[in-house]
Amino acid sequence: MTSERAEWGRHQVDSEMYEDGNALAGPLGEIFTMDVTVAVSRCAGCGLAGPVARLHVYRHAPGWVARCPACEGVVLRLVRGPDSAWLDLTGAVSLRLPMPTL
Amino acid sequence: MGIVSPGFRGRPRESGPELPPGQYLTRDFPVLSAGPTPRVPLDQWEFTITTETGQAHRWSWADLMALPGDTPTVDIHCVTKWSKLGTNWQGVPLDMLMADVTTDADYALVQSYGGYTTNLPLQDLRDGQAWIAYRFEGEDLAPEHGGPARLLVPHLYFWKSAKWVRGIQLMLEDEPGFWESAGYHNYGDPWREQRYQGD
Ligand SMILES: [Zn+2]
């Protein structure tokens, strides 16, 4: 019973710390003209492919950190300074972006 | 109006000179987190200092608790602009842990449970400037604040005070950590407002 409550508490704490990848729409919208949250990213850690909108985004931090929902590896980081932004995609093998038909 | 009046008592404490430039005073303790909070059972917890030659010095939780702890009272400054003054900690000074470590390294890469890293000159971990802290304001350090133990190196921005600290790799060459490789300043002196690369 006690451990069950502790388990529940843990999920509470962790789920309060991240949001889904839709939270990236604003900061990424400053950089890209298209909506990157609908792109499919492939995790460099475990290979999982899924929409950027499903990543776990930690924003109560010095920057935006988007993690894989399967392995919690970092897929994308974004730091917004006063006159520069740093975008790190080393944790993403690829981004698949929907495009108009040629 | 004169430039200075004799009875002038200055600005309120909130904007006084005890705060580095661009910081504001907070009384709560904001939780910043770039990932899930690691839960490390104390009987599995270990802290390791590894030299540039690969020699490892290890402490279990019991080893750490057996060492005499300091109780530093320090001001802390987060790069997200909040500062807290007069915070009370308990921890083991790095000087004590480094006492038997032979090294020619000039740099340290601090490593955490959960994968976080941060770099700083080894010199900044010496001379009473840094601790492995395990109590805050008289309580065991809570997991969301880096418990069971975090690095405390309060003269630099607080991202250098790595939560859930697991070890320190000593190195001859500098290597940027998690935030230092994503735009943040390599050194991070709050009094010189070294927030981002180029500051
Ligand atoms: Zn993954």
pLDDT band at B16 (very low <50, low <70, confident <90, very high): low
Please, which residues bridge with residue B145 across strands?
Answer: none
Q: Which residues of A touch B195 (CB under 8 A)?
A: 81
- Does the residue A51 lie in any domain? yes
Using a CB–CB cut-off of 8 Å, the residues of B that contact A are 30-37, 39, 79-80, 115, 143-144, 159, 179, 181-184, 195-196
Summarize the confidence of residues B77-94 as an average pLDDT.
97
| CB nearest to B36's CB, from A61, A63, A72 | A72
Q: In the prediction, which pLDDT does A16 show?
A: 58
Kindly report the CATH number that applies to the domain delimited by B24-28+41-192: 3.90.420.10
Q: Convert the pLDDT of each residue in B162-195 to its tens digit.
A: 999 999 999 999 999 999 999 999 999 999 999 9
* DSSP type of residue A98: -
- Does the residue A4 lie in any domain? no
CA dist., res. B6 & res. A69, Å (int): 62
- What's the gap in Å between the CA of B41 and the closest CA on chain A? 14
pLDDT band at B198 (very low <50, low <70, confident <90, very high): very high
Judged against a pLDDT cut of 70, whether residue A10 lies above it is answered with no
Write phi, then psi, for A3 (nearest 5 degrees): -70, -30
- For B34, left (φ over 0), alpha (ψ -120 to 50), or beta? alpha
| CB nearest to A65's CB, from B30, B35, B159 | B35
A62:B37 CB<8 A: no
User: What count of Cα atoms within 13 Å lies in the side-chain half-sphere of residue A10?
Assistant: 12
Q: Convert the pLDDT of each residue in B28-80 to its tens digit.
A: 999 999 999 999 999 999 999 999 999 999 999 999 999 999 999 999 999 99
| CB nearest to A13's CB, from B37, B159, B179 | B37
Number of Cβ atoms within 10 Å of the Cβ of B101: 17
- Does the residue A53 lie in any domain? yes
Q: How many folded domains does chain A comprise?
A: 1
| CB nearest to A14's CB, from B32, B37, B179 | B37
CA dist., res. B125 & res. B98, Å (int): 9
- Does the residue A72 lie in any domain? yes
Q: Convert the pLDDT of each residue in A43-97 to its tens digit.
A: 999 999 999 999 999 999 999 999 999 999 999 999 999 999 999 999 999 999 9
- What's the gap in Å between the CA of A26 and the closest CA on chain B? 18
- What range does the domain containing A88 cover? 19-96
Q: In the prediction, which pLDDT does A2 show?
A: 35
Q: Convert the pLDDT of each residue in B115-160 to its tens digit.
A: 999 999 999 999 999 999 999 999 999 999 999 999 999 999 999 9
Residues flanking ion ligand 1, Cβ below 5 Å: A 43, 45-46, 48, 68, 70-71, 73
Least confident of A7-21, A25-39, B45-59, B127-141: A7-21
Residue B109 structure tokens: 């890469």
Judged against a pLDDT cut of 60, whether residue A17 lies above it is answered with yes
- For B164, left (φ over 0), alpha (ψ -120 to 50), or beta? left
* 3-class secondary-structure state, position B73: strand
pTM: 0.89
CA dist., res. B96 & res. B128, Å (int): 9
CA dist., res. B37 & res. B78, Å (int): 19
A60:B31 CB<8 A: yes
Rounded alpha-carbon distances, angstroms, from residue A3 to A40, B36, B42 = 37, 19, 17
Q: Which residues of B touch A79 (CB under 8 A)?
A: 179, 182-184, 196
Higher local confidence (pLDDT), A98 or B6: A98
CA dist., res. B188 & res. B194, Å (int): 5
- What's the gap in Å between the CA of B105 and the closest CA on chain A? 28
Domain boundaries, chain B: 24-28+41-192
Tokens 């900044």 label which residue? B124
CA dist., res. B113 & res. B146, Å (int): 10
